[in-house]
Structure 1
Amino acid sequence: MTERARLHQELLRSQAFLEQTNTLAKVGGWELALDTNTLSWTRETHLIHGVPEDFDPNVGAALSFYPQPGQAQLEAAIAACAADGSPIDLTLRAITAAGERSWLHIVGKRVEDATGARLIGAIQDVTEQRSAVDALAQSEARYRRLFQHSLGLICTHTLSGEITSVNPAASLSLGRPEAELLGRSLAEIIPLERQDQLQYYLQRVAENQSDSGLMELVADDGSRRYWAYHNVLDTEADPPYVLGHAQDITTQHLQERQLLEMAIRDPLTRSFNRRYLAELAQQQLEAWGCLVFDLDHFKEINDTQGHAHGDSVLVEFVAFLSSPLEENEVVVRLGGDEFLVFVPGARMERLQVLEETYQARAHLAPVRFSGGCAISRPSETVADTINRADMKLYERRRRERPE
């Protein structure tokens, strides 16, 4: 008797432990005897359905906790399991006795032993898990709608620059189908002369986890597109990826460039203007040099051959002055038929080389010209430097052409 009592106590403890764990996991058990159609529930199953423990369930009552079409699904699954042993595995919406909505996961199988054939299974309240899944699905759906319908340009790419997604606005901006862009490298849609900037961009994103700026891209028709972007690195993803958001500012960018060009360039010859010369001089940390030129008897060309021909002479003369120039050396139209060649960080040797070159090629110029040169002095104004070059121009003209 003592051994029987001990075993009984252990059984009770095991049952209590099982009930406690089932309660924590919100898992209940059920059994359906097929010969008598008798349904049995555990205590937790009663709690899940919101009924007291003395509630005596039957198949019809159990099915009533599930609104259609879930009720029909469960009824069909029970029938199939009873008939051929098909396992039951369903997640259905349910309504408790108190009218509270929930989601229940039901599993079951057919067993047969000395007591007869029956279905046994478990039922778990997965409302919280299902709510989390639904919330995530809704969040992803909202993001997808934002991604698809945003007027902003959205794309993602790896840290090596491989494009992994683009939204329709970005695809439209580049004139390239989404399928054509996916899997390609950013290097394939960035101008060759900007490839080094791409590598710096990828390095900055990796190091700073974000980057902002202006990116120049090549559209399908070969035109340039300008994107003002702010991209961030998603470090929580595995592997990390770059989420990019940009605005297509191509029109604005081109307009700004056009306005800048209008502000610093002569509209006829496309050479720089006197206003920009002052900016060039201010940017110099050391002396700069210049050669000034004046076209001989240019007024007679306008008077005898017309202003249209005079304009073409000015354009050709700028081309003549530009031909021997090196990087950062530019032509400036001072006004009328007066021009200047700006030479940054100049030494007299360079000015002399240019003077000799222009004289040697003078026969290629559209008109006869006179010139003089000067190098800026500390604290000297731009006008004073030009004036000293003009003095040499006039002196040379008097010496070489006394008429």
Structure 2
Amino acid sequence: MTELMKAKNAVQGSIDCLKDKIQRGIISGSEVVCCTCIGAGGPELKGFSFPLLVLDEGSQASEPEALVPIMKGTRQVIIVGDHKQLPPTVLSPKAAEQGLGVSLFERMMEAGDSGKSYTNEGQATLVARIVTSLVKDHDVQPSSIGCISFYAAQVSLIKSLLHQPNEGTMAVQVASVDGFQGQEKDVIVISTVRSNSGGNIGFLKDPRRLNVAITRAKRLLVVVIIIGDHKQLPPTIQSQKAAEQGLSVSLFERMMEAGVPSTLLGVQYRAHPLLFEFPSARFYSGAVQSGVSPEQRPQLTPPFPPGKGAAGHPPLVFFHDGGSKEEPGDSGKSYKNKSQATLVTHIVTSLVTNHGMQPSGIGCISFYAAQVSLIKSMLQQPSKGGCQQVIGTW
């Protein structure tokens, strides 16, 4: 009986070996191999590599699932899916809370509108200025400085500014958050990139990425620099519950409150010096000065009576609307004031038609969406001398 079992096992082994040989021969001779994500990591495909991967129904594959075939020597990946339909099936609530319910497809869509990336030239220029100063004025070795951004396009832009032959900053490492995983530098400069009226922050809302970015600096005396202004608008949070949990406080503001060393950029180059006097005193204790002179921001001759001042027309004017009353907007969740909207329209129209101002040089701001819509509807009238262009600046 024992001999019979040995013979059976030997035959079965030969069959399995022949089957495996035939199977691998078929796979080797095939131009296209189809399998599931997890199947790509099975013994049948062990040792095979696939330079081109087409991942179908990618929006239903979790990130760990998608990584299995990607790790098979892939050099190019095409993911086909619809992130507006069913997401990956994740049975564990804890796993879902950690982000495993988001597919690689959706993550890439969120990262940059159909695969696009983002740049912020102002931040990139400021990062280059900070790094250059550290190297030239403070004797910090370029190789001990790292620049991190959450977007590949910003990484490329910062590299183009820093990696100039005559700047002495060629050795500064510039990479994405993923590129700095597992690395550290004496000095880390972070460019957050995102800054928009819609409050869209993309990768920045992932606490794990933030954690990696802010823990790459290894020396105690090094300042981790995040470029921003905690005195201006906070993050836009739609959920009351999320706001109560503290998500309306930015990382920048939290670090400022915690006493993390920071550098105040003490010069502004936008507003007329007289216009900036109040915010400088009220929000920055007078520490921010104007880098432009009154001559560089010549005062306009406005369509209203002159006030006091050397030039006859101050750059800041208040109008009393005669005690008009607001009313609910069409949605019932906002407010509008027709009298104020009419007055705004009159001022803008006069500036354009009687005082030679370009509509693109005028901006109208309201705190309420219903008022914005009302002013837009008034300015879009053809009789307003091209003032409909003004709404493009909102």
- TM-score, normalised to structure 2, is 0.23
The structure whose residues are more often strand, as a share, is: 1
For the pair shown, the structure with the greater C-alpha radius of gyration is: 1
User: Whose RCO is larger (CA < 8 A, sep 6+)?
Assistant: 1
- TM-score, normalised to structure 1, is 0.22
